Amino acid sequence: MLVLGIDPGLTRCGVGIISATKSKRSLIAVETIRSSPELSIEARLLAIGSAIDALIEHHEPELVAVERVFAQHNLRSVTGTAQVSGLALFQAARRGIPVSYYTPSEVKAAVTGNGRADKAQVGFMVKSLLGLDEIPKPADAADSLAIALCAVLRPQQTSNSETAAQRVWRNAARAAAK
């Protein structure tokens, strides 16, 4: 299954595609779509929407996973994030692709086993779970992959079992302690 993860943002929108089977997860593509604050809002949305459209058209994901917009103190930032989320939802809906929504804490919990994990922990787990040589940069790119991984890992979790992310994190902690 191909999953497109989107970390919506008006200045930087992380987008990442992973391939996932029962036994393997791998990186297909990752990038950060940027738009200049000097452009009009409609020009910025057009650029981001066009880039998301091209990515979906090229890779044909079977699921789109989007980080759910949450309230911040900066209303302008929330508005831009919500507008970019709407672009992603529109592109998925016009193709009949299902969409999953995850809060930041749900993504962190699915990928690291801790809903309060920091960016470094999330990046480390993205690298580990996808078998990458390094953590994708900037953080928006790594976050988009974490969102895609959440869509894959979350259904497999039960309250009584250790997640794949928790297992990798535990093994890494053991290796670092040696």
User: Could you give the CA distance from residue 15 to residue 29 in angstroms, rounded to a whole number?
Assistant: 8
User: Could you give the CA distance from residue 46 to residue 78 in angstroms, rounded to a whole number?
Assistant: 18
3-class state of residue 102 by DSSP? strand
133 is in an annotated binding site: no
Examine the residue annotation and report whether 7 is marked as an active-site residue of this protein: yes
Amino acid at 161: S
From 118, 140, 143, 162, the catalytic residue: 140
Examine residue 138 and say whether the peptide bond preceding it is cis (omega within 30 degrees of 0): yes
From 67, 106, 118, 134, the catalytic residue: 67
User: Could you give the CA distance from residue 60 to residue 37 in angstroms, rounded to a whole number?
Assistant: 30
3-class state of residue 33 by DSSP? strand
* Maximum Cα–Cα distance across the chain: 54
140 is in an annotated binding site: yes
From 7, 118, 133, 162, the catalytic residue: 7
User: Could you give the CA distance from residue 59 to residue 44 in angstroms, rounded to a whole number?
Assistant: 23
Examine the residue annotation and report whether 140 is marked as an active-site residue of this protein: yes
7 is in an annotated binding site: yes
User: Could you give the CA distance from residue 66 to residue 148 in angstroms, rounded to a whole number?
Assistant: 8
Catalytic residue list: 7, 67, 140
Instruction: State the binding site for Mg(2+).
Output: 7, 67, 140
Instruction: State the binding site.
Output: 7, 67, 140
